[in-house]
A and B are shown apart, each in its own frame.
Chain A
Amino acid sequence: MTGPSTDPRSAGAGSPAAPPPTRRGTEAVMLAFAVVITLAAQSVVDITLTGSLRPELATFGGWFTALWVVMHLVVRRFAPYADPLLLPAVALLSGLGLTMIHRLDLAGEQVGATATREDAPVQLVWATLGVVLFVAVLLVVRDHRLLSRFAYTLALVGLLLLALPAVLPASISSVNGAKIWIRLAGFSIQPGEFAKICLIIFFAAYLVDKRDVLALASRRVMGLELPRGRDLGPVVVAWMLSILVLVFERDLGSSLLLFGIFVVMLYVATERASWLVIGVGLFGAGALLAYQFFGHVQVRVDTWLDPFAYRDTGGYQMVQSLFGLGTGGLFGAGLGGGRPDEVPVAKSDFIAAAIGEELGLFGLVAVIVVYLVLVERGLRSSLIVRDAFGKLLAAGLSFAIAWQVFVVLGGVTGLLPLTGLTTPFVAYGGSSLVANFALLAILVRISDAARRPATPAVPPGTPPRATFVDAPTEVVKP
């Protein structure tokens, strides 16, 4: 675990006090570990299902390894103090995702279906695009505070992306009832995934700006300090936005996701628990309304409460998922040993059920723990970063991952109603993967700022910034 500091630049800077370790060596070792696990898992899948290694495995292995070498080198160069666990956690998750998708590709071939698609190579291309975006974000955004300057622009872009599928004709925006897609020339994009990041950046900038006002209490009711009525504006707007998404795009997941993130960011910014209570109250009212008025929400809730009563209709997917998990048991059927293809759309929405079936309780819990590591490292960066915007942005992004994982895995395992969100970094789906790589880039950027010493050995060419880095908070002027 304790990799030596091998950053030649920090070692050769000749500063009198020993600079804090960059931990890039640790990251390299952990990345190698994640890549080796992925390649081993791929080999197991091939041997179990086909009896031999596929020739393309070498290409895949080289490509996959190259992605992480590039990521690591870019981080080494442009964010040397970044948290060393963020990249390895994502490498492990995306490697496992690619393995399961490849495994499900093979299952499709085995059954002999005529129109089997090789989805794993496509996903690898998406991951590559994700890496390109990761590098671009890290190169362009040299200081995360740069983002706050574009907060309102990003808000507009976010809202447009969110609203785009709703206004487009259903023929290019609707898949299985959810109007959240843009399908062009064979590609399907879920703009909502990118909207999520834009809106989180906006929330962070806006809340840092207004947090003093929002924290003002007007009166105490039952031990809670309630905000002034006129300050309720933003939370009501966010709530209505969620309802609109739900109504016009039939997207329960994004609606729940955005609102949850906003309320938590509001709470962090203002330190007022009353916002949480108000948020939960609004959510409850919204959920009740949605249940009353929308058939698809009713179906979701009914099949959640008793999936076995609808086992041949709406609950089929859920029941198959539970069968997979139950059959997997403690140790799982082993990679290639189960029948995860019995669950419809196992590659995207239900990939966690496939993992639970083949890797068992231990495998699925391990995945949950890797997510926990990713999220808690993000929140840790949020704790130690010095500026308020960075704090709130890192908190929002980290919580976004946590909340999405909770809603998705809760859905697949029957804890919550199904929402149709994707498992970050693991599930098949280009938009989600690419967007999450961008999210990761911002987290890496903030964690670099958080761990960078106050008077760093500045590499030549870096703009001087130590002068205001010490400021406890910074007033953001958008």
Chain B
Amino acid sequence: MNAPLRRVAISVLVLFTLLIVNVNYIQVVRSEELRSDPGNRRVIVEEYDRQRGSIIVDGTEIATSVATDDDLTYLRQYPQGGLYAGVTGYYSFLYGASGIEQAENDVLTGDDARLFTQRLSDIFTGRDPSGGDVVLTLDAAVQEAAMAGLEGVTGAVVALDPSTGAVLGLASTPTYDPTLLSSHDGTAIRDYAAELEGAERDPRLNRAISDNYPPGSVFKVIVSAAALSSGEYTPDTVVPAPDVLTLPGTSTTLENFGGSRCSGSGEQPLIDSLTISCNTAFALLGIELGEDRIRETAEAFGMDGEGLTIPLETAGSTVGDPENDAQLGVSSIGQQDVRMTPLQAAMVAAGVANDGTVMTPYLVGQLRAPDLTVIEQTDPDELSEAVSPEVADQLTEMMVSVVENGSGRAARIPGIDVAGKTGTAENAGPDHNWFIGFAPADDPQIAVAVFVANGGGTGGDVSAPIARQVMQAYLEGGS
């Protein structure tokens, strides 16, 4: 009986080898797939088991985790409700994370490699492991002023520190309460998500960075910059400014806003054209300069079609692809296929304000370990030199004139020179209303872009006052 016994012993070895091979297949080959399956609650439960780091603005926690006694240990809360929703995003076990919650997830959970020593010491000291904090560059006063200004309208505000690129304000309306998407009650989360889904304008879309819009006359700053950079123009160069322009090669006519007249003589200095936002003058100027120079300048300000990572992912901005002089003329007043994100519009203002140098915008100032040691400090970074300092000075002079004497008067702040440019962009619905600007003009501290979607008024009426409030909030609070 020994021969079959030996064969049985070998068969058992084979059977057990099969088991071991199969266990290897499941625990090694399919491990990642099984671990990340949405039906696998383990990873979520573990993630919620650790205290997630906070997101901080001006020393105040705008996203924080509090202990509960239910199955998922920590509950994510956003004490300011919808104020920072576009920045923080939400942290939902049903829909995952968005915004900074997603972009800085590794730091917030504590999984980031830079927190390794921290985790190690947690193990040895028996401390409950927790995530690191993300300190934003936002200014609470700016953000509040921006959200207050946008109340009741659909739109966005972006405010930058022109000399560093630090984002001081990033607001988008309508907003939502991320706390309600981050609860532990699946039914309540689904109900709220359905409510957001059914809204006429999706509150979860961050209009400041995630979508682009025709900028209208705001784009005239870039055409002006191209003209001045060519060396063939100064603010005082007299340019043609007819009442009506028939676009070359077509029978289409282009008028000024509301059919108004730019100049009795049919020509005017460039600075005046910008001040009153003369469409015919800029259409002709654009055609005169040519597509290449306008595109070059626009790209130097960042409008190269590529989005930035700030670390939120942003949409790109573009001058489009005008096929002929007629389209180039319309593009030169920010219509046709020209598209800008409000962030890009703010970068244009900030670039002019910062002697022609555009700084890379960033939202995260510091990453901190749970013991408050700084693990990363963001250093300002130059994105591009859009125009020379001389041209920047000339543009500033022209933009100050816009606010002093022209379409942007609603942005004036007593005792402070404000530079700016309005925009009223045609689109399928009521006009979009824009304003970009910075202050103080001689020592810029803050650059802003205000975008009101389908506001129906003009950039000067609707958006300039919001920009003034935002700049005032910063200058009065900061100085």
Which A residues are within 8 Å of any B CB, using their own CB? Answer: 111-112, 264, 267-269, 271, 311, 319, 322-330, 338-339, 342, 356, 360-361, 364-365, 368-369, 371-372, 375-376, 379-380, 382-383, 388, 391-392, 395, 398-399, 402-403, 405-406, 409-410, 413-415
Contact = CB atoms under 8 A, between A and B. Distances in A.
Contacts of A371: 16
B34 interface: yes
Interface of B: 1-6, 8-9, 12-13, 15-16, 18-20, 22-24, 26-28, 30-35, 37, 39-43, 45-46, 69, 71
Nearest to B70: A112
A71 to B, nearest CB: 25
A327 B33 CA distance: 9
Q: Which 8 A-B pairs have the closest CB atoms?
A: A326-B34, A361-B27, A323-B40, A402-B12, A379-B9, A415-B22, A268-B4, A329-B31
Given A329-B28, A339-B42, A361-B28, A402 B15 contact: yes
A399 B12 contact: yes
B413 to A, nearest CB: 58
Contacts of B45: 339
A323 B5 contact: no
Nearest to B18: A415
A271 B27 contact: no
A402 B37 contact: no
A309 to B, nearest CB: 12
A329 B35 contact: yes
Contacts of B71: 111
B1 A326 contact: no
Given A372-B16, A379-B9, A413-B26, 16 more contacts: A267-B4, A268-B4, A323-B34, A326-B40, A329-B31, A330-B31, A356-B23, A365-B23, A365-B24, A372-B12, A375-B12, A376-B9, A379-B12, A391-B1, A402-B15, A406-B19
A380 to B, nearest CB: 8
Nearest to B33: A326
A268 B20 CA distance: 26
Contacts of B26: 322, 325-326, 413-414
Contacts of B3: 271
Contacts of B33: 326
A311 B41 CA distance: 13
10 contacts: A267-B8, A268-B8, A326-B34, A327-B40, A364-B27, A375-B12, A379-B9, A388-B1, A403-B15, A406-B18
A405 B30 CA distance: 23
Contact of B1 (A268, A398, A409): A268
A60 to B, nearest CB: 24
A410 B39 contact: no
Contact of A268 (B5, B37, B69): B5
Contact of B42 (A327, A368, A379, A395): A327
Contacts of B34: 322-323, 325-327
Contacts of B20: 365, 368
B234 to A, nearest CB: 69
Given A329-B28, A339-B45, A410-B22, A323 B1 contact: no
Nearest to A272: B4
Contacts of A403: 15
